[in-house]
Amino acid sequence: MFKRIRTVVAVAMLTVAAYAVAVESPGGHPDTYVVRRGDTLWDIASRFLGRPWLWPEIWQANPQVANPHLIYPGDVLSLAYLDRVATTAKVQPGPRQEAPIDAIALAEVEPFLKNLRVTDSFEQLPYVVGLEDNRLRASAGQVAYVVGLDQARPGQRYAVVRPTVAYAQPRPTEDLGANGSTTPGSGNLWKDFAAPTARREFLGYELAQVNIGTVTRAAGGNAEATAMLLEDSGREVRAGDRIVAVEAQAYDLQFVPHAPAPQVLETDIRVLAVADALTAAGPRDVIAISGGAREGIDNGTVFSLWRFGSRVNDRVAHTRFSRADDGYRGGHGTVGLPDEYAAHAMVFRTFDTVSYALVMEGVKPARVGYQLKHPDAR
């Protein structure tokens, strides 16, 4: 399974080398190319033009391709682009004897995604007030009691979510307790290694789905709480967890990787958090980033993740230094280092001010506070 996923990602997202080192456009390329099994326009643009982000121009030069995300083995494509459009004598559709070549299908990446969402507030949501047999935690086959679901009816299904962190800048995250209040001092954890930012903004609360429940008894009479039978054994429910409607389709059915729109990169977008981890993310990890639909980010947007260049003590020219230094604020005798490439990530779920992305490939862990740049940055 993992080998199959790696193959799909390599076709649609390139390899680490192609990401990390932007190859110059080749001096020449054939006038036409016959699509083979496993090709995508993304892959073809990378191979012949040296920039995968130019795939829309190949598409525009080939009007016979109705859907750029569904090309077929045997299709003959013109590699003319920019101000040239192919003639019908040079290009032709393939035999259509094989299935079309899709973009990244949901099934290929879904095992690694996290069911997370971002909201401006959660205090008004119904919440779990108690559990069967006065348990501290409950799982599949056990009952949770909820207040605030006054209109619920037996048979209705709801998602149980947990407020986990508050997202903001300059403090990327602050942890939330069982009652939803922020943990004092938790936002100061990042100040020693996250580069300073001029942004001062609250971005939202993260709600992580922990379970699904079906209403078995509605509130009424002497019972002020609604009984909900839990279905999932993956994560346990506790008092204080919130209740929201079940989403019919949490993710897109397919993801089309593409570079961010120019206006997206005008905002200082950072890595806010790593799902189920503290600070570092590697391939197949989910990260939260400080930008969303408001900035023009959509599902499929690809970024490169960069460590800010820190400042180090110049111990050759200034021999009086006696301690290690890896800060971001310089002083006399310090030298600024260049930014360092870490990984590439593709956005899979977008909210207004925060998005979630899947780290696809990388050469080193990506950490909280890293900056997001154009995928072809160097």
Instruction: Kindly give, in sequence order, each residue whose CB lies less than 8 Å from that of residue 78, ignoring residues fewer than 6 positions away.
Output: 31, 32, 61, 62, 85, 86, 87, 90, 91
Residue (of 47, 42, 112, 58) closest to 375 by Cα position: 42
Amino acid 156: pLDDT: 95
Burial class of 201 by CB neighbour count within 10 A (0 to 12, 13 to 18, 19+): exposed
Q: What is the mean pLDDT of residues 367-371?
A: 94
- CB atoms closer than 10 angstroms to residue 48: 19
Whether the predicted pLDDT of 96 surpasses 60: no
> Helix, strand, or coil here: 11?
helix
Domain boundaries, the chain: 2-102, 116-245, 254-373
> H-helix or E-strand containing 20?
helix 16-20
Nearest-angstrom CA–CA distance, 249 and 203: 24
What whole-number percentage of the chain has pLDDT above 70?
82
Nearest-angstrom CA–CA distance, 188 and 210: 27
- Listed range (13-22, 93-102, 235-244, 305-314) with the worst mean pLDDT: 13-22
- Listed range (51-65, 177-191, 349-363) with the worst mean pLDDT: 51-65
Residue (of 46, 15, 211) closest to 115 by Cα position: 211
CB 117 within 8 A of CB 354: no
What confidence category does residue 355 fall into, taking pLDDT thresholds of 50, 70 and 90?
A: very high
CB 203 within 8 A of CB 124: no
Written as six digits, the tokens of 35 are: 């699509």
Nearest-angstrom CA–CA distance, 161 and 116: 9
Amino acid 317: pLDDT: 79
Q: How far is CA 148 from CA 44, 119, 319, in A?
A: 54, 18, 66
What confidence category does residue 326 fall into, taking pLDDT thresholds of 50, 70 and 90?
A: low
Partners of 34 in the β-ladder: 76
Q: What is the mean pLDDT of residues 76-99?
A: 56
Instruction: Kindly give, in sequence order, each residue whose CB lies less than 8 Å from that of residue 50, ignoring residues fewer than 6 positions away.
Output: 22, 23, 24, 25, 26
Residue with tokens 């993801």: 255
Which listed CATH number (3.60.20.10, 3.20.20.80, 3.10.350.10, 3.30.2010.30) goes with 2-102?
3.10.350.10
Q: What would the pLDDT profile of 195-228 be if each residue is shown by its tens digit? A: 888 899 999 999 999 999 999 999 888 889 999 9
Amino acid 93: pLDDT: 55
Q: Name the residue type at position 233.
A: S
- DSSP letter at 247 equals P
Whether the predicted pLDDT of 339 surpasses 90: yes
Q: What is the mean pLDDT of residues 267-276?
A: 94
Q: What is the mean pLDDT of residues 80-99?
A: 50
What confidence category does residue 367 fall into, taking pLDDT thresholds of 50, 70 and 90?
A: very high
Residue (of 41, 49, 42) closest to 15 by Cα position: 42
231-235: list long-range contacts, CB under 8 Å, 24+ apart: 231/140, 232/139, 232/140, 233/139, 233/140, 234/210, 235/139, 235/210, 235/211
Amino acid 165: pLDDT: 94
Whether the predicted pLDDT of 3 surpasses 50: no
Nearest-angstrom CA–CA distance, 308 and 300: 24
What confidence category does residue 2 fall into, taking pLDDT thresholds of 50, 70 and 90?
A: very low
Is the model more confident about 1 or about 125? 125
> H-helix or E-strand containing 43?
helix 41-49
